[in-house]
Structures are given as structure tokens and as C-alpha cells.
Amino acid sequence: MLWRTRLPAAVLWALLALALIAPWIGLYPVLGMRMMCFALFACAFNLLAGYAGLISFGHAALFGGAGYLAGLALTAWGLPTPVGVLIGVGTALGIGLVMGLLAVRRQGIYFSMITLALAQIVYFYCLQANFTGGEDGLQGIPRGNLFGLPLQSDRVMYYVVLVVFAASWWFMRRVVNSPFGQVLQAVRENEPRAISLGYRANRYKLGVFLISAGFAGLAGAMKAVVMGFETLTDVHWSTSGLVILMTLVGGLGTDLGPILGAVIITVLEEKMGAISSFLVHVTGIDWLHQLNDSVSMVIGAIFVLCVLLFRRGIVGELRARLLMRK
């Protein structure tokens, strides 16, 4: 059973306030922006998997494909930053349309494997295409300006990404709570019954696939602008696995679960050295220094613990336990 949280307004305002002051109380803005980009990516995947029951193994093609085209528009074509990001989103929608048309007619593992196969085609195209830079990646992507705001400033860019992320999260939440979202969940629970009631299930699944693709592309395009480069890692199948891991660790089918999962995984990837040094200082065990070279092992261990102790994900399990106490 999937769990969905209805968060009090006070909690949402508190989280927003924390995000607003984070760069001023020690958060490195680039790390914060990277977390928000992956959180948006995870939320887009969660919209598809958590509420429509469609597990895509090919979302990296949407994420990375958008990043490459947005980077190309900004570097080679010299377009304004908002236009470049929109081109990236349009690219993700185009890939998502092809992927969705071919995949939504299937269910379960067959759906997942079709998305994976199509994503591999995108990966090998990016590997060989001239504009992507191959294994060197697409370098020197400029941030440009947004309505006169200098995006070269990390703090200015941070708040732009925060606004985009908050608006996107709000929109996806509205989609879930709309009649469209209710039909999606009905299709997820019992597709034959939904069809018998007159709903065209494949159209609803294609619709949510495109919405998910659009937001995944938005996340990928923003990440390319924030980091200033785009590499093959973003279109590799491992990135699809990473976003699945983020969503499952945080809580599939919850409002904040994908965000929490993205924050945990991103911090582990970026700050494992500092974390291992802190653990050595606290415990006195020198072996813990080796964790810095074993990030994948640590992430895997966290996933195993979540499967054993938090089967609904961290947010989903906490919600379930709170409901049991009432």
C-alpha cells in the first residue's frame, strides 16, 4: 500500500523558510541547487511510479537529454537562459512522447524494460553525437541572465532554482489531488475496473508520463545550467537507478519522501569524506576513513536498511506509525 501525506500549512511554510535562509546559515548554494534539481527529478519520477504505478527504468534519458539540448542552446546557439531551459523541457517531452507511446500499452516489467531499452538508445546517441562532446561531455554552459538578474551569482541562481522547484512541486501536488490524479490512482489499483467504468487508461498513463517527462527535463536542464556542464552520467542507466533509489528511500507515493531521499543521497555523494572524518573523530575507528572510497556501498547499505526497517520509505513509515498512535 502506498502512503500519501497531507501536510499542514505550517510545516510547508517552515520548510520554505528553512530553504530561504539555508545559504546564509552554512549551506553551499551549489550543493543546495544540486539537491533541488535531483529532488525535482525524484518528484517527477514519483508522480509516475507512486501514483500511476508505472516504474520507468529510462528516466535518465529525459533528465540527461534535456540537459544536453539546453546546454547546446546556450553554448552553440547563444539563446537566453529561459529559452534554453524550455528547449530542454521540450526535448524531454519529445523523448517522453515516443517512449510513452511505445511503453504504456504494456504493464509491469515489460513497461520498465521498454523504457530502459529506449533510454539506452538515447545514451548511445549521446555517446557518438558531435555536439555532446562524447566522453568529455558538454562544457562551458553559461548561466546567463534572467530578466536582468545575474545568474552567475550562486545565491541569485539558488533562489531562482528554489522558486522553480517550489512551483513545480506545488503543481505536481495539485495534479495528484485533481480528478485526473484520482483516475490515475484508480487505474493503478485496478486497471480493468477503471476501463469498465469508461476511462481510457492508456491515455491517462500517457498523460502522466508526459507530465513526469516534462518535470524530469526541467530538472535536467536546470542542473546543466547550474553546474555549467553536462556529461554522459546523466543519460546513463545508473542515473535512472539512482532516482528510483531516492524515491524508495524517502517514500514512494508521498509528498516529501522523494525530496528527503534526494537530499540524503546527494549529501552522501558530495560529503562522504567529511562524514567519514566525523565518524572517525567520534568513534576513533580509523577504518571508517575507507567509507570515502565506498560511497556506493554506503548508499546500498542505507537502501537495505530502509527495505528492512522502513518498507514504505522513511516518510511513509513515519506517517504510518503516527497514524497507529492515534
Q: What is the mean pLDDT of residues 52-75?
A: 96
Average pLDDT of the chain is: 89
Q: Count of CB atoms within 10 A of residue 67's CB?
A: 33
Position 280 pLDDT exceeds 80 = no
Position 229 pLDDT exceeds 90 = yes
Q: What is the mean pLDDT of residues 189-193?
A: 91
78: left (phi over 0), alpha (psi -120 to 50) or beta: left
Rounded CA separation 64/138 (Å): 11
pLDDT band at 288 (very low <50, low <70, confident <90, very high): low
Domain-by-domain residue ranges, the chain?
A: 23-235
| More confident: 267 or 274 | 267
Cell of 104: 504504456
Q: What is the mean pLDDT of residues 221-244?
A: 95
Position 205 pLDDT exceeds 50 = yes
Q: Which residues of 171-189 are buried (b: 16+ CB within 10 A; e: fewer)?
A: ebbebbeeeebebbbbbbe
pTM of the model: 0.92
Nearest to 220 by CA among 99, 93, 40: 40
Position 2 pLDDT exceeds 60 = no
Position 125 pLDDT exceeds 90 = yes
Position 6 pLDDT exceeds 60 = no
Position 38 pLDDT exceeds 90 = yes
Q: What is the mean pLDDT of residues 270-292?
A: 71
Position 89 pLDDT exceeds 90 = yes
Position 1 pLDDT exceeds 60 = no
**Cα Rg of the chain, angstroms:** 20
How remote is the C-alpha of 42 from its chain's centroid? 3
pLDDT of residue 60: 97
pLDDT band at 8 (very low <50, low <70, confident <90, very high): low
Q: What is the mean pLDDT of residues 179-205?
A: 92
Do 43 and 246 contact (CB within 8 A), yes or no? no
Position 278 pLDDT exceeds 80 = no
